[in-house]
Structure 1
Amino acid sequence: MEKRKVDVAVIGAGTAGMSAYRAARKHTDNIVLIEGGAYGTTCASVGCMPSKLLIAAADSAHQSRKAPMFGVHPGDIRIDGKEVMARVRRERDRFVSFVIEAVEGFPEAHRLRGQARFLSPHRIVVGEKVEVEAARVVIATGSRPNVPGFLKDAKDRLVVNDDIFEWDDLPGSVAVFGPGIIGLELGQALSRLGVRVRMFGVSGSLGPLQEETIRHYALKTFNEEFPLDTNAVVRSVE
């Protein structure tokens, strides 16, 4: 097994990991950036960027429907789900290519590929091939979805938000569990693109809203577009 000794090891080459790498490199060139999956960052591949592409399509449809109130009559609105998703994936892939180009611009000696496993607080095995001893370690591995047990009965119909951007077409209907920021923005976008949406939450929470009057008004406003129950009790999924 190859052994390396470095000043800083950064685990995870996403947005946070790349930022940490650049910051550490101002102080030392004895550094490694470790990535166990594909380069591209959550933001560019399955997060902020593709979600905003989907929202842009939804906003376009929504504004077209509102146009008659201004005396503008654009005619019948037809949403082609395949065209919508093809553009989302095409532009998403373009954004990801910029990120990959940036990472691959780092010195090859600084990049290690493989899953990282700690042997001790300062010793890491990468891909079972390289052992790294690091004076400092930055963990920037991000997160992954945790699917509640009762939802697993949905089987092959179950998707997490990351999966949406691999769709070839828009579905006829979607049940969204979790009216957090991601659930709200994707659920509303899908609804405005013609997908039948119903959203479920627990304990009355709605996104980041804490003030009762504003939360009540927001709930009323969302329900004008699709059914949203923030106090749902889901006993089973069939």
Structure 2
Amino acid sequence: MSTSIKADMVVIGAGSGGLSVAAGAAQLGLKVVLFEKGEMGGDCLNYGCVPSKALIAAATAAHEMRMASRLGVHAAEVAVDFSQVMAHVRAAIATIAPHDSQARFEGLGVQVVREAARFLDRRTVASDSLRVRARKIVIATGSRAAVPDIPGLSDTPFLTNETLFDLDVLPTRLVILGGGPIGVELGQAFRRLGSEVVIVEADRLLGREDPAAAASVLDQLTADGVRLMAGRKAVRVEPGPTLVVEGAAGEEKIPGSHLLVAVGRQPSLDGLDLDKAGVERNARGVVTDRSLRSGNRRVYAVGDAAGRGQFTHLAGAHAGLVVRRAIFGLPVNAETLQVPRVTYSDPELAAIGLSEAEARKAQGDDIRVELVEFAGNDRAIAEGDVRGFGKLITTAKGKILGVTLVGRHAGDHIQLWALAMSAGLKLSQVTGMIAPYPTRGEVNKRLAGQWYTPALFSSRTRKVVALLKHLA
């Protein structure tokens, strides 16, 4: 027999977005019920951001040891103990887990129910043991690895990000299907840890990103020894596992010890009985307006479930908007959020706003593009790593449309542009910033300053200076 209660807010899903909504609402004094059928912390903590970056850290350490001779430091042969690497990965998860734990949220006053939830009607959510009638409901169920319909795949053991971190033995030959950020990050990491790696992509690897920036990353993967196969469509999977792909020269068989499927993610909405709540969905997620509210005025969606981008930091931003809208009734607009993205490869690739190609499609030739290479950055030279560049895209009048950075720690340096675009800062305000020397972050000030160079040193300005020198 299930118990029936009333609540101010029900949250379905204990990932980044759901936890942020639940914590905010509970600390504001509302009665909150949080349903989670899996692990607290969701995909990011358990299968995504945290374990992958812990793995990348180990891979980077191994690579830096091998490459230390370029700086005159000579190390003994590098030995990777994969079981200890995975122990580090699990320790990272365990260290962060208490922040997302059931105990912590119950301490905040949230009623946590570790069961699958579903809608009974437009304002009632139920699990096996509890039925809740709520004033507001937030769907924060995240996403899961998409599995393509490829003949033979269902009959062959394969990995996704949800099972990859259960490995205790390093794959001898890892075949990765999918050349997006996940495939590239993990492919490079496993290669640096000692696996042979092949990445297969039906289109262009890192196809969403600026081609030159993507090339900087892919050149490094090639140098690392990763085999990159772009423009190859997977046609079937044979036992082994062996991935069979089709290219210009016909079929090719790619054998491996393990197969990782990394072709993207799809929203986790099955089993919620959304139709009973009058909530519409599409292939991307719950259909919402700019306030993240569904067709049912009581029901909101955040994060991957909202179909507006699959980033943990975006889910957190969505949570803030929902708290403002659903609790305080304030106007919000999820469509104006400036969302940075980072591929945590080496070099890192970070971007925000429009790429050059997207800007030209939207604005025509009425744009300006500034490029500053790290080859001219003193910190990069001192570190012996001048790979990459910064690219700034603006309107002809200087409105920032987008920025791409590729290089060491690009994800940290894109944050200045996230602030500038979110706050509507002018380029002159960026140039007015004093950047510490020597830092890679100086590339941002140089990008902004370079925009003014043609006007600053124009013939007209020179004439003005010629007149002023007689008055000084």
Q: What TM-score results when the alignment is normalised by the length of structure 2?
A: 0.47
Q: 1:37 to 1:152 in 2, by over 3 A?
A: farther
1:60 Cα shift? 0.7
Write the mapping of 1:66-145 to structure 2, written as runs, cut at 5 A: 66-100=67-101, 101-107=103-109, 110-127=111-128, 129-145=129-145
- The alignment partner of 1:131 has SS state of strand
- The alignment partner of 1:237 has SS state of strand
AA of the residue aligned to 2:189: A
1:149 Cα shift? 2.0
Structure with max Cα Rg: 2
Task: Give the equivalent residue in structure 2 for 1:59.
Answer: 60
Q: 1:46 to 1:9 in 2, by over 3 A?
A: same
Determine the C-alpha separation between the residues in 1 that align with 2:176 and 2:191: 11
1:115 Cα shift? 1.0
Q: Does 1:39 align with 2:35?
A: no
Deviates further, 85-94 or 172-181:
85-94
Give % identity.
34
1:153 Cα shift? 2.7
1:19 Cα shift? 0.3
Deviates further, 184-193 or 20-29:
20-29
Q: 1:172 to 1:153 in 2, by over 3 A?
A: same
- The alignment partner of 1:78 has SS state of coil
Task: Give the equivalent residue in structure 2 for 1:17.
Answer: 18
Does the CA contact (< 8 Å) of 2:19 and 2:100 recur in 1?
Answer: no
Determine the C-alpha separation between the residues in 2 that align with 1:55 and 1:198: 17
The alignment of Structure 1 onto Structure 2 pairs a total of residues equal to 235
Determine the C-alpha separation between the residues in 2 that align with 1:10 and 1:169: 38
Does the CA contact (< 8 Å) of 1:10 and 1:20 recur in 2?
Answer: yes
- The alignment partner of 1:236 has SS state of strand
AA of the residue aligned to 1:71: G
Q: 1:152 to 1:97 in 2, by over 3 A?
A: farther
- The alignment partner of 2:143 has SS state of coil
Determine the C-alpha separation between the residues in 2 that align with 1:151 and 1:69: 47
Task: Give the equivalent residue in structure 1 for 2:168.
Answer: 168
**CA RMSD between the two structures:** 2.0
Does the CA contact (< 8 Å) of 2:11 and 2:34 recur in 1?
Answer: yes
Does the CA contact (< 8 Å) of 1:89 and 1:166 recur in 2?
Answer: no
Unmatched runs of 5 consecutive residues or more in structure 1 = none
Deviations 1:26-70 (A, max 9, x none): 444222111122323322211111111111110011011111122
Task: Give the equivalent residue in structure 2 for 1:212.
Answer: 211
Does the CA contact (< 8 Å) of 2:26 and 2:108 recur in 1?
Answer: no
AA of the residue aligned to 1:220: D
AA of the residue aligned to 1:194: G
AA of the residue aligned to 2:21: A
Q: Does 1:188 align with 2:188?
A: yes
Task: Give the equivalent residue in structure 1 for 2:7.
Answer: 6
Higher RCO structure, 1 or 2 (CA under 8 Å, sep 6+) = 1
Q: Does 1:224 align with 2:223?
A: yes
1:105 Cα shift? 2.5
1:104 Cα shift? 4.1
1:151 Cα shift? 6.7
- The alignment partner of 2:14 has SS state of coil
- The alignment partner of 1:170 has SS state of coil
AA of the residue aligned to 2:35: I
Determine the C-alpha separation between the residues in 2 that align with 1:152 and 1:94: 39
Determine the C-alpha separation between the residues in 1 that align with 2:183 and 2:151: 15
Deviations 1:155-208 (A, max 9, x none): 453010121211112111111111221211111100110110000112214164
AA of the residue aligned to 1:102: R
Q: What TM-score results when the alignment is normalised by the length of structure 1?
A: 0.89
- The alignment partner of 1:176 has SS state of strand
Does the CA contact (< 8 Å) of 1:61 and 1:193 recur in 2?
Answer: yes
Q: 1:26 to 1:39 in 2, by over 3 A?
A: closer
Q: 1:214 to 1:171 in 2, by over 3 A?
A: same
1:148 Cα shift? 0.9
Does the CA contact (< 8 Å) of 1:113 and 1:126 recur in 2?
Answer: no
Unmatched runs of 5 consecutive residues or more in structure 2 = 239-472
- The alignment partner of 2:150 has SS state of helix
Task: Give the equivalent residue in structure 2 for 1:201.
Answer: 201
Task: Give the equivalent residue in structure 2 for 1:148.
Answer: 148
Determine the C-alpha separation between the residues in 1 that align with 2:235 and 2:178: 15
